[in-house]
Amino acid sequence: MPAYPAFFVIMDNPRFTLVRDAFRKQALAIDTPAEAPSKYFGELVFGREKMRRYLDPATFSALEKCIDNGEPLDLDTADMVAAGMKQWALEHGVTHVTHWFQPLTDTTAEKHDSLLEYDGKGGVIESFSGSALVQQEPDASSFPSGGLRATFEARGYTAWDPASPVFIQDDTLCIPTVFVSYNGEALDYKTPLIKSLKAVSDAALPICRLFDGRVSKVINYLGWEQEYFLVDEDLYSARPDLMLTGRTLMGHQSSKSQQLDDHYFGAIPSRVTAFMKDLETEAYRLGIPLKTRHNEVAPNQFEMAPIYGEANLSNDQNQQVINLMHRIARKHGFVVLLHEKPFNGINGSGKHCNWSLGTDTGIPLLAPGKDAAGNLQFLVFFVNVLMAVQRHNGLLKATIASATNAHRLGANEAPPAIISAFLGRTMTGVLRRILETPSDAPVVIAGKKGTKVGALGIPDIFVDNTDRNRTSPFAFTGNRFEFRAVGSSANCAGAITTLNSAVAEQLKDFMLSVNGELSKGKPRNEALIDSLKPLIAKVIDTVCYDGNGYTEQWKADAARRGLDTETCVPEMFRQFTTPESVAMFTSTGVFSSRELEARNEVKWDKYVKKVQIEARVIGRMATNHIIPAALEYKRQLLEGLSLEKSVFGDGACGNTETGIVKDISFLVDELRSKVDALEASREKADVIEGDYEKALAYHSIAESLDGIRGPIDRLEEITDNALWPLPKYREILFIS
């Protein structure tokens, strides 16, 4: 066994035993298939290749039309599909089936049913019907519904989403589904996401057909970048705050954390590499194309990202990966932390959502084109996305707000608490020149002169002509917008649904304007530019901002521009039910007003419960862990002083010991007083009836938790290290 620093070996304190064991752990052997990932990629997914193999041609054709065009699937065909799925599943050792859905708990849900049925002859057989494939009935009253379902109204339905392929997890066939109430209201993230995908496609289609009559569908793409922390499971288990809230509610900063920038893109620790390899192997088998892995800025923080894909499928894959992460991390002695700010004083974690649009003819709509028409089409969608963000910047902030992401919002990390869009000098210059140029003037497009297209030159090598702005929550990065404010624990569908809905509304309004200009007899290009110019004038000096989003000056400037600068999360949620938001969501068919009200109730209730748990945990840890440890050290110091006095007399007592005793007494009294005040605040908040009002009260409680942390962190600095009952930051944050 290798040698370890003496202080890890000689101490009997349980905290040091945990730290010692964490340092002794070795990378586990990886059962990685010998062949290249391309050989086993998607082997646990019932994708199109499997459909062709296990379904007859007529059934495959019907299912393909259902997937690609949304055509209904009759029950007889569903039975044939189920039979093919069952055959494939049994070959992989499947014994159970579940409808896999995404309720408003921010996790996935599944109820496993055995494939066994009586055969009518005293035995059993494996059975799986089309009806079992298409629909199930879980208990809707047990999931957050915002009042859409009551305890005595338990019926809800899960219904198969054929656009997201069925997959195998362990011994279970998992069927991705939507989750709706008895009355059809959405109780999940997938249902509104699917509606928003259709809304943005329907709104974009008439504009695309001005350029290419062959386009029949607009596709929404998503590429997520998942940040996360890994901590040793033994140290995690010794921290009640980490276990119960996902973050450390106390803990003095380590002398060394991220200030040397040596972790970012550094060599990945061997234990972490072992975890990543296992994770990637399982992801590849599920058809999830993980592409990138690296160390992030903070110690113990890492990131992964896949190749981008269609938004509905990509979002499902993100949820699958999160489930894999938690399961595989335990095999390697880790726990995954997805809380947006698990450690004070170092960077938190986000989930950057790279969002773009493209046609079914293969044309990207947010990348400059290869000719004049392509550039004009790009400008149309580029400007309208910016206008949608300008119109609903407060709502977009509300859609990524939560009790956990609140610790990142405005904390000089990726998402300031103001939604603005970074364009870069190139595109900012293009937009300003459009405003200054007559709509029918000869302009330059990609090096070609003298063409009347009504759009200005965009360099061929575009991506490298703009820098990147890490302080922007919504940045244009060459062929997509990167929605960087989404929290690491969030379901991407929440943010993407709102963004899609806002863009769909804006595109519909823009097409009305274009039709008005065309009715005046204007040529297509001139009609488009004349409809774009008012939008450019609105966005260029309001929501478009290329500067430092962290400065106090920007906060003041943003308020003058009319952007939403609210920092109270419960207040942000009210954006969902403003008249403008309700009109936008209902006109696009994504949410009804009742569904919006219900979701706000869920958001306020979830906020209250998250903060309530944190308040309970910090109060009990202060009382049961911190104060006893501090008082024990005080007792030992006083015994020492008493012994010193008995031997050497009053004049021999040291000032250091007496000073520490006084500091401990003061800090313990301060801590006890703040905990008592916290308990009193909680008691008052808990009797408040209204969801919004209670959430506001708990917002004040959330802001008071740092005040309790202050004396605890000071006590950590002066209490005997052997007596401190919790693993410290310096012990948790570094993986050997």
Q: pLDDT higher for 371 or 179? A: 179
* Average of per-residue pLDDT across 194-205: 98
* Average of per-residue pLDDT across 241-253: 96
Pairing of strands 474-476, 421-422: parallel
DSSP state letter for 409: T
Average pLDDT of the residues of the chain: 89
HEC profile of 342-399? CCCCCCCCEEEEEEEEEECCCCECCCCCCCHHHHHHHHHHHHHHHHHHHHCHHHHHHH
Amino acid 19: pLDDT: 59
Q: Judge whether residue 690 has pLDDT over 70.
A: yes
What is the chain's length?
736
Yes or no: say if 705 and 615 are a contact pair by the CB < 8 Å rule.
Answer: yes
**Which residues, in sequence order, are CB contacts of 616 under 8 Å at separation 6+?**
682
Q: pLDDT, tens digit, for every residue of 170-186?
A: 999 999 999 998 888 99
CA distance 29 to 271: 10
Please give the backbone phi and psi of residue 161, each rounded to the nearest 5 degrees, phi first: -105, 95
Q: pLDDT, tens digit, for every residue of 28-70?
A: 545 566 689 999 999 999 999 999 999 999 999 999 999 988 8
Instruction: Give residue 509's pLDDT band: very low, low, confident or very high (50, 70, 90).
Output: very high
The two three-digit tokens of residue 242, written as one number: 């980490």
* Average of per-residue pLDDT across 117-143: 82
* Average of per-residue pLDDT across 517-545: 95
Instruction: Give residue 259's pLDDT band: very low, low, confident or very high (50, 70, 90).
Output: confident
Max avg pLDDT among 20-34, 420-434, 639-653, 717-731: 717-731
Yes or no: say if 27 and 273 are a contact pair by the CB < 8 Å rule.
Answer: yes
Instruction: Give residue 1's pLDDT band: very low, low, confident or very high (50, 70, 90).
Output: very low
Q: Judge whether residue 9 has pLDDT over 80.
A: no
Amino acid 482: pLDDT: 94
Instruction: Give residue 449's pLDDT band: very low, low, confident or very high (50, 70, 90).
Output: very low
Amino acid 652: pLDDT: 65
Q: pLDDT, tens digit, for every residue of 411-441?
A: 666 667 899 999 988 888 889 988 988 776 6
CA nearest to 575, candidates 703, 504, 583? 583
Asked whether the CA dihedral 295, 300, 301, 302 is positive or negative, the reply is positive
Q: Judge whether residue 5 has pLDDT over 50.
A: no
Helix (H) or strand (E) run with residue 50 in it: helix 48-54
Query: pTM for the complete prediction?
Result: 0.93
Amino acid 408: pLDDT: 86
pLDDT > 70 fraction of the chain, expressed in percent and rounded:
89
* Average of per-residue pLDDT across 450-460: 52
Amino acid found at 112: H
Instruction: Give residue 88's pLDDT band: very low, low, confident or very high (50, 70, 90).
Output: very high
Amino acid 446: pLDDT: 44
Max avg pLDDT among 24-38, 139-153, 566-580: 566-580
Q: Judge whether residue 355 has pLDDT over 90.
A: yes
- Report the chain's terminal Cα–Cα distance, integer Å: 15
Instruction: Give residue 236's pLDDT band: very low, low, confident or very high (50, 70, 90).
Output: very high
Amino acid 13: pLDDT: 56
The two three-digit tokens of residue 534, written as one number: 């008012």
Q: Judge whether residue 409 has pLDDT over 90.
A: no
Q: Judge whether residue 338 has pLDDT over 60.
A: yes
Task: Work out the number of other CB atoms within 10 angstroms of the CB of residue 240.
Answer: 16
Beta bridge partners of 306: 290
Q: Judge whether residue 23 has pLDDT over 90.
A: no
Q: pLDDT, tens digit, for every residue of 603-635?
A: 999 999 999 999 999 999 999 999 999 999 999
Q: Judge whether residue 7 has pLDDT over 50.
A: no
Q: Judge whether residue 649 has pLDDT over 90.
A: no
CA nearest to 469, candidates 454, 491, 484, 457? 484
Output the DSSP codes for 27-64: PPP----SS-HHHHTTTTB--HHHHHHHS-HHHHHHHH
- Burial letters 419-447, b for 16+ CB under 10 A, else e: bbbbbbebbbebbeebeebebeeebebbe
Q: Where are the beta strands (DSSP E) in 24-138?
A: 96-100, 112-114, 116-118, 124-126, 135-136
